[in-house]
Every structure is written in C-alpha cells, then in structure tokens.
Amino acid sequence: MEYLYILCLLAPCYATLNNKKFPDDFMFGTATSSYQVEGAWNEDGKGENIWDRLLHTNPNFTVNGDNGDITCNSYHKYKEDVALVKELNVTHYRFSLAWARILPNGHVDQINEAGVQYYKNLITELRANNIEPLVTIYHWDLPQTLQDEGGWPSSDIVDRYADYARLCFSLFGEDVKYWMTFNEPKEFCLQGYGEGTNAPGIKESGTGEYLCAHHVLKAHAKAWHIYEEEFRPTQNGQVGIVLDTNWYEPATDSAEDEIASDTKLQFVFGWYAHPIFKGDYPEVMKNNIQRRSLAQGYAVSRLPEFTPEEIEYVKGTADFLGLNTYSSMLVQPRKYTDVSAMGSEYDSEVEEWYDDSWPKGASPWLVVTPWGIQKLLRWIKNEYNNPRTIITENGYSDYDGTLDDVDRINYIQQYLSGIRDAMDEDGVNVFGYTVWTLIDNLEWVFGFTNKFGLYNVDFNSPNRTRTAKKSVGVYQNIIRTRCLVDDCIDS
C-alpha cells in the first residue's frame, strides 16, 4: 500500500487506476455557472442579482474584493468557450441560466429579449458542435427584487420559480434535453440564509436554512410537474436536481460512529434527496430538530412540515440525480451538545473534521479522498434504490492556475477510477461525469484565488486569455480511449 502511495506521488497513479473501459454511452463533460463566468453584470438589460448587490455593497465579502462584474467575460466570449469545450471532445457542457438576465425583476411580466437571445445563441453554438447542453435553471444568482420580496425563506418564491422554469422550458426546451432545477441547494440555503457566508448573507441559523430548503423542494417539484404535464410529451427531455455532499467516513468502526456517518449523510444529502426519492424528510432530521426545538422553547419544530399531499407531490420528481462531490470528512457523535446552539450542524449532533494527513487543494474544504466516492455512490444506491446518477461536478483547485497541473490530473484520474470501481463492483447507475470547471473563474467568496479550470484564464489581460493546462490533454485522452490506463480491458 505504501509502495502504491509513493507511486501516486511521483506520477499519475496508474498502479491503482481501474483498467476497465467506460461504457460507450457514458457521458464525459465539463461545467460552469452564470455568475462565475459571464460578467456583463449590467449589460443588455440584465437585472441585479443577490451576488451583484452583496459584492458591490460589501466588497470585503470576497478575497481581494473580487466579483463577477467581468470575471471571464463569457457573455462576450461564449463562442471561444464552446470552441474549448469542442476541443476537449466532451459529450456535454453544463452551464446555468442567470434568472435576472432573462427576467430582470424576477417576474415573468418583463422578459429581457437580449438575455434570452444570449442563451439561444449559446445553445445553438453547442448543438452546432454536437455538444449536449445540460442546463441548470438556478445556480445561486437570485434576482435582487425577489430577495427584496423575501427570497427563498418566503413561500411566494415557489410560484415565482415555477413561472421562471416554465418560461425556460418553453424558450429553450426544444434544444435542451437535460434540465437541472437547482444547483447545490444545501449550500445556498445553509450559507445564504443560515450562516450568512454566501449571498444574500443572512444569518438565521437553525431556521433560515430549513425554510429555504422547504421552498426549494416545493419549487423543484412544481417545475418537475410542469415539465411532466406541459412539456415532456413534445420535448421528451429529463428533469433532475443537483445535490452535493461529502462522503462522511466513520472515525472508527464503532457502531456509534457508523450511525453518526449515516446521520450526517441524512442531514446533508437526505435533507433534499429523501423528500424527492422516498417522500418527506428523513426520520432522524424530524426527530432531532423537533426535540431540540422544543428544548429551546419553540412551540413547534424549526423544521417545516410537509402535508401528506405535499409529500406525495414532491416524491418521485427526479428523472435523474446530479451529484456534486469533492471531499470526505471523518465523523463521530458530537460530544458536547449545547442545547441552545442553533444550526443544522448542531441539530445533526454529529461532529466532522478532515484528517490532517489527507492531501489538500487550495479550497479549505477540498481534500483528495478518491476512496470516498465509491463508498458514497454505494450508500446512495442502497438508500434510494439505485437512481440514475450523473456526477455533475468534481474537480481540483490550486492557487496559481499552473499549466503543469499534475495534482488536478491525479485527482481526476483517481476519482474517475473510484466511480468506475463503483459501477463495476457495486452496480451503481452512473451515466456520466462532469469536471468542474471549464475555465478558471470566480470561486465565490474565494474570488479568483481558488482555480479549478481545465483552462487557465489570465484575469490581468482585458482579453481574459484562455490557455490549456496539461489536464486538457489527459482528459481528452480519457474521453478518446474511454480508459484511465494505457491498456484497458473491455467492460
């Protein structure tokens, strides 16, 4: 084992890589999101979103005061981006629609034709190059007007989102066959409305994140039903959701730590997946939050309740699961449970940490634990009856955007190997993989200091010049051969 570890440090980790071919129809792709790459924040009629507002009024929110005003300038350089996607030879490109570019005030009564045209052009360019568009309807950039009306914690948002989703299906649905309603609701609910570390920066831990999630789940379900009834018969596409989680490894093999692992996965992933794939919130969430809420003096649980009709309405509303996963953490039951502490972290009664020995990326939460992805996929298979799954994000960050990105290459190879192992040994139903991200871009509060791109972007040049990193060649080769090693055996 140590021998293998040394090999992995010295060179691409061939010794441990799976040597079976990926199936011919396995989709390889790459991804971006609107606020992180587009720029043109106020051009051609685009409305203000919550990130525009937050970072203009509070520049200290991000490292170096970086923001998405210009970022990669993809709004003007989308053809160049598509050329890079084409050069990679991927099957698909995952990107998101900026709600405020299409609907400047968030409502469907005022459509910005220039914004609509931008996405039509992008989709046309992708299709012309034989690249399947995978479209995220919401990737964290809520129109500011809707935040002023209450944002995700307000129940009004459900219908606003449903109207917007219907409009997207009708505008772009002839050419889009894979829709994702939301990207990582756990992150934007927890950080946006609980901890206050993402836009809109609201600190209401213990209540805000649960209200946000409740409305996201209803909005997701409504969009799926709209598609099912009004669009599927003619457009024949699929609607899923993108959820994120780490793998949570029990700190020891004790029964308590094993339970802590399951509990943590329920609190992070089951929070969204359970209502959609099984119906209602996980029991452990309902129990813990109810118990702690009452002990804190609340009359009812801080976790909102679904009615029996709502449980049925939300259940079964994903044609596929999009999974974003990068890291693992160790877990054990939380030793000191201060009953007054507020937040879903405390409600889970589990504590988590990174092992110091695990290799790290630039992002403080990114550790290189490829062994975790197989365990996670196996857990999802067992928990949700083996849903059709696409890895919608996975990738590696460094600080300097080096072109000689061997750490990224190792990361991608090893995680793909873990996925291939899980397909082979556990029979998990994974049909695709998507590298985060096409080009270095605005990594939210970390600004331009955490670089995930397959292509480097020179943020000092007005042209935002893109340059291929070494990982481009390696990924091209994996896609061409459908294989992680020099010589694969057929699957």
Residue 288 binds ligand NOJ (CB under 6 A): no
Among 147, 183, 389, 414, binds ligand NOJ (CB under 6 A): 183
Residue 191 binds ligand NOJ (CB under 6 A): no
The nearer residue to ligand NOJ, 324 or 332, going by C-beta atoms, is 324
The nearer residue to ligand NOJ, 184 or 352, going by C-beta atoms, is 184
Minimum distance from CB of 367 to ligand NOJ (Å)? 13
CA dist list (Å): 430 to 23, 175, 435, 490: 10, 23, 15, 17
Minimum distance from CB of 30 to ligand NOJ (Å)? 12
Minimum distance from CB of 466 to ligand NOJ (Å)? 17
Catalytically annotated residues = 184, 393
Touching ligand NOJ, residues 307-346 (CB under 6 A): 324
The nearer residue to ligand NOJ, 48 or 184, going by C-beta atoms, is 184
Minimum distance from CB of 139 to ligand NOJ (Å)? 6
Residue 393 binds ligand NOJ (CB under 6 A): yes
Minimum distance from CB of 72 to ligand NOJ (Å)? 13
The nearer residue to ligand NOJ, 132 or 443, going by C-beta atoms, is 443
The nearer residue to ligand NOJ, 184 or 421, going by C-beta atoms, is 184
- Torsion over CA: 105, 114, 177, 484 (sign): negative
Residue 33 binds ligand NOJ (CB under 6 A): yes
Residue 204 binds ligand NOJ (CB under 6 A): no
Whole-number Å distance between alpha carbons of 486 and 85: 24
Minimum distance from CB of 145 to ligand NOJ (Å)? 23
Interface pattern 403-442 for ligand NOJ (x via CB under 6 A): ---------------------------------x------
Residue 184 binds ligand NOJ (CB under 6 A): yes
Whole-number Å distance between alpha carbons of 190 and 212: 8
Minimum distance from CB of 118 to ligand NOJ (Å)? 20
- Torsion over CA: 334, 336, 340, 342 (sign): negative
The nearer residue to ligand NOJ, 173 or 200, going by C-beta atoms, is 200
Interface pattern 215-254 for ligand NOJ (x via CB under 6 A): ----------------------------------------
Beta carbons of 392 and 324 less than 8 angstroms apart:
yes
- Non-local (6+) Cβ contacts of 5 within 8 A are none
The nearer residue to ligand NOJ, 26 or 452, going by C-beta atoms, is 452
Among 209, 405, 421, 443, binds ligand NOJ (CB under 6 A): 443
Write out the residues near ligand NOJ by the rule CB under 6 A.
33, 36, 183-184, 324, 393, 436, 443, 452
